[in-house]
Amino acid sequence: MGKPTGFMEYLREVAEEVAPSDRIRNWDEFHLAMAEDNLRTQAARCMDCGTPFCHTGLTLSGMASGCPINNLIPEWNDLVYRGLWQEALERLHKTNNFPEFTGRVCPAPCEGSCVLGITNPAVTIKNIEYSIAEKGWESGWITPTPPAQRTGKTVAVIGSGPAGLAAAAQLNSAGHWVTVYERADRPGGLLMYGIPNMKLDKRQVVQRRLEVLEAEGVTFVCNTDIGKDLSAATLLQDFDAVVLCTGATKPRNLTIPGRDLQGIHFAMEFLTANTQAVLDGAPGPQYISAAGKDVVIIGGGDTGTDCVGTSLRHGCHSVTQLEIMPQPPDHRAPNNPWPEWPKVYKMDYGQEEAAARFGTDPRTYLTTATHFEGDDQGRVKAVHTVQIQWGKDDQGRFTPQPIAGTEKAMPAQLVLLAMGFLGPEQPLLESLGLERDGRSNIKADPGQFTTSIPGVFAAGDCRRGQSLVVWAINEGRGAARECDRYLMGATELP
């Protein structure tokens, strides 16, 4: 390493962000660049550890530990410290097709398993990754690199989210003709419509990568829902192979009394229509406004946080986030040891913004909704809740149990359900006759990505269930490798 003692000499610093009270006034990204000297100092904190867990990509206790795409983090940290930015970008691109995405939206399991993090604040890996990628774009180092020759093989990729884009990029680099089908009006999938603009700018960040892929030979076909606008049979007939990257977009519902009242929506309905309005410059027919309303968001996680941040930018009257789980501890619990992902209390960007606007974290823990109350016009006006405690039922399973006397009603003219997803939507899978697992995901062998139909592969959330963008990239790359092997008999894709 360039600075073996750097971890003892320098303290952790993170990049500054636009102040929460200021950034809620617009849809611009709120990340601010860190000075190059500071970045090199932060890279110097990377230890010369014998076993760098940061890039192991393990799954411990059901959570990612280390980078799922096995980024060569110590290597590009060392290159940044030495000022060799272009070499750092080349090293980063060896494992990650889209570091400008992960550097913004990945929760950084690499930092959770950083060896330095055992005793000190971890290395600022995510910020350094983001900075390498942006340096590459600003310096003109990221340009289209079409394959030197074509194989003549054709591949259809269904879905243009991170898994689909990664699969398309890799298969195109191998020389295959790749067509990506997307049912929305713009390519990008989750990256375009599932993540708000202030976290991931669509025009300046997502679109520039899509343009590079197009220049390299990838074809995007939008407004095309496979199974409706184009039959699955036609797809199998017209292409040599198919890679399914449809995501896990079936939302978890909350079937309690009053669910059919107006003003209760799934979170993605709210977020998608909002991003469409930002991109189109005006609200569309599906737009849902939080302006002047008391907003209750049921569910935590990234989607719930995105709903908080979006509601604040609309100018909501209040925002409350109901979380059925207990508040995490301030420090690792004994049953959550390193290098597991640290399940500790923190405020994400949305909660920081809510605290700046209303004075407190909007989350209410160990609370669940019991029913919705409507007005005389069939619109929701209140959410009735009760506090819960977790205990074992008659079968020994931990379940939420209501605490008598803690019932409460909170005003709400907009309720957003952000309780996760149950798996991929089924019509396309049924039309193809694909075998599914017990969770309704496409059944495809890990590491092989092969489905019950020869020549059809599955990757990302539609195979593994709802997960991180970085896992989707991992799966897209893996499926591309096995698809290339199927088409050519061998593969040189990593």
Residues 164/460, Cβ–Cβ less than 8 Å:
yes
Q: Are 481 and 491 in contact, with CB atoms under 8 Å apart? A: yes
Residue 45 CB coordination number (10 Å):
26
Using one digit for the tens of pLDDT, what is the confidence trace for 73-104? 999 999 999 999 999 999 999 999 999 999 99
The 3 state secondary structure assigned to 138-185 is: HCCCCCCCCCCCCCCCEEEEECCCHHHHHHHHHHHHCCCEEEEECCCC
Instruction: Please name which of 384, 379, 414 lies closest in space to residue 262, comparing C-alpha atoms.
Output: 379
Secondary structure (DSSP) of 331-359: S--TTS-TTS--------HHHHHHHHHHS
**How far apart are the C-alpha atoms of 318 and 414, rounded to whole Å?**
10
Residues 6+ apart with CB under 8 A from 492: 174
User: Do the strands 408-411 and 380-392 form a parallel or antiparallel pair, or are they unpaired?
Assistant: antiparallel
Which residues of the chain form CATH 1.10.1060.10? 6-138
The reported pLDDT for the residue numbered 195 is 97
Q: What tens digit of pLDDT does each residue of 360-396 get?
A: 999 999 999 999 999 999 999 999 999 999 998 888 8
pLDDT at 1 over 70: no
**CATH class name, domain 6-138:** mainly alpha
Q: Supply angle C-alpha 74, 209, 353, rounded to 5.
A: 75
Would the pLDDT of 231 be above 70?
yes
| DSSP string for residues in 97-113 | S-HHHHHHH---HHHHT
- Residue 135, CA distances (Å) to 90, 107, 198, 361 in order: 12, 21, 20, 35
Question: What's the length of the chain?
Answer: 494
Whole-angstrom Cα distance, residue 16 to residue 270?
Answer: 29
- The per-residue pLDDT for 48 is 83
Cα–Cα distance measured from residue 345 to residue 336, given in angstroms and rounded to the nearest whole number: 13
The average pLDDT across 35-63 equals 93
> What are the tokens at 265?
């929506």
Q: CA 84, CA 154: separation in Å to the nearest integer? A: 38
Task: Spell 108-117 as b/e; 16+ CB within 10 A means b.
Answer: bbbbbbbbbb
Token output for 416: 């957003």
Which residues of the chain does CATH 3.50.50.60 include? 154-249+422-488, 253-419
User: What is the per-residue pLDDT for 300?
Assistant: 87
Cβ neighbours, 10 Å, residue 394: 6
Residue with tokens 């889209």: 98
Helix/strand/coil percentages in the chain, nearest 5: 35, 20, 45
Given a cut of 90, whether residue 446 has pLDDT beyond it is no
For the four alpha carbons of 244, 247, 249 and 252, in that order, the dihedral sign comes to positive
**Nearest CA-CA partner of 105 in 192, 200, 204:** 200
Mean pLDDT of the chain: 96
Domain 253-419, CATH number (from 3.40.50.2000, 3.50.50.60, 2.40.128.110, 3.50.30.30): 3.50.50.60
Residue 468's pLDDT band, with cuts at 50, 70 and 90, is very high
**Rounded to whole angstroms, how far apart are CA atoms 111 and 340?**
10
| DSSP codes, 46-98 | S---SS-GGG--EEETTEEES-TT---HHHHHHHHHTT-HHHHHHHHHTT-S-
Rounded distance between C-alpha atoms, residue 212 and residue 208, angstroms: 6
What CATH homologous superfamily does 154-249+422-488 map to?
Answer: FAD/NAD(P)-binding domain (3.50.50.60)
Query: Going by DSSP bridges, is the β-strand pair 177-181/219-221 parallel, antiparallel, or unpaired?
Result: parallel
Confidence category of residue 477, pLDDT binned at 50, 70, 90: very high
Query: What are the helix and strand counts (H, E) for the chain?
Result: 17, 18
